Amino acid sequence: MSTRELLKQYKEDVTNIKNRAKTLGLSNEEIDLSFKDAFSELKNEINSSKTIKKRTKAQNFCSILKNVFLLFTLLFIVVYILLNVHQPTSSIVLRNVQGLTYPTLKFVRFLSVPFIKLFPSLTDLYDESCLIENPYFYVADMECWPCENVNTVLNITEVEDGLLKSGSGTPFMIKTDQQKVTLQILQKMYEKNMEVMESEARRVKSSNSSISSLKDLFSNSELPSKTHISWRITKMKPARLIRQIFRKPSFLPDRSGQSVERFLMFDGNEAEPYELPNTECSYVFLIQASGERSIILKPSRECASKCRTVSVSLKPSYVLWYNWWYWRPISLPTKNSSEPSITYINSYC
């Protein structure tokens, strides 16, 4: 039947029902109310059936997911046992998989190109030795003898160079021939090498919302008194440029390898205290380029019960050496200081 015929038949049925109801003595209002009740019950039945169907689909989907998860878990356990327990299987798999390693990595790199184009800043992760630092890292039973008898940071400026090849964790400071480095000197270096700095050394963290980039930093002639800025460098080209300004201290071992990662800390004379960042290598040296800054060396968590906290005031051209296995440094403003501070941080292994 066509739609028109169905509607005609429906109209005739409704008319017959109304006439039949009137012969039974029902009024028009009672007839309308009966129709409303009938349609309401029909609507509730349809909705309940839809709800049951949806619930059934959701239950079936959850059941499928559960089965897939169990299947993958069992497969993982079986593969793990075969590769780590059954030596012949492990040898066969390794022999055949090694040839696929390079093509697979090449394919993954090909797939990552569109994402790199959309998010160019992801290329900064290439130079990271650790993407996420474990805040709960703890060395059990670590020997703390290098810091147990340290009561102060020694100034060993007058000691001969041959005695400065320190390999322990005992901190010291020494005055070097490092020339004073001001914001203006770094500003000239930045302007001369702006393209390299903006593309490969743009990591700046600031406590001042108006300074969020290198351009903002070096467009100011002076630092605001309460501002702290951390400039992190992790690539070779900018590291070479910075190394021309901050020379390698003479007391570093000849065969030591300096880390590419380095920091420049810019602090106003009233900048709030902050913890110095952890470096790639454990042997750390701080060069005070200009201004003054107080450094508190707190014992690491492993040695907190055996070693005591010491502090030192760093003046221009002084270098502080320490080992972060035993010390966690905090930088504070120096009393009566009116000049902004610039501190260079590097490490070696």
Query: Who has greater pLDDT, 126 or 341?
Result: 341
Please tell me the distance from the alpha carbon of residue 341 to that of residue 223, in angstroms, as a whole number: 9
- Confidence at residue 320, expressed as pLDDT on a 0 to 100 scale: 95
| CB contact set of 196 (below 8 Å; sequence gap of 6+) | 237, 238, 241
CB atoms within 10 A of CB 94: 10
Q: Is 310's pLDDT higher than 80?
A: yes
Q: Residue 267: helix, strand or coil by DSSP?
A: strand
Q: Is 8's pLDDT higher than 80?
A: no
Give the mean pLDDT of 235-240: 92
CB atoms within 10 A of CB 345: 22
Residues 233, 262 contacting (CB under 8 angstroms): yes
pLDDT band at 48 (very low <50, low <70, confident <90, very high): low
Phi, psi of 175 (to 5 degrees): -85, 130
Q: Is 38 left (phi over 0), alpha (psi -120 to 50) or beta?
A: alpha
- Most confident stretch, 66-70, 93-97, 252-256: 66-70
How does strand 154-155 pair with strand 310-314?
unpaired
Phi, psi of 176 (to 5 degrees): -115, 180
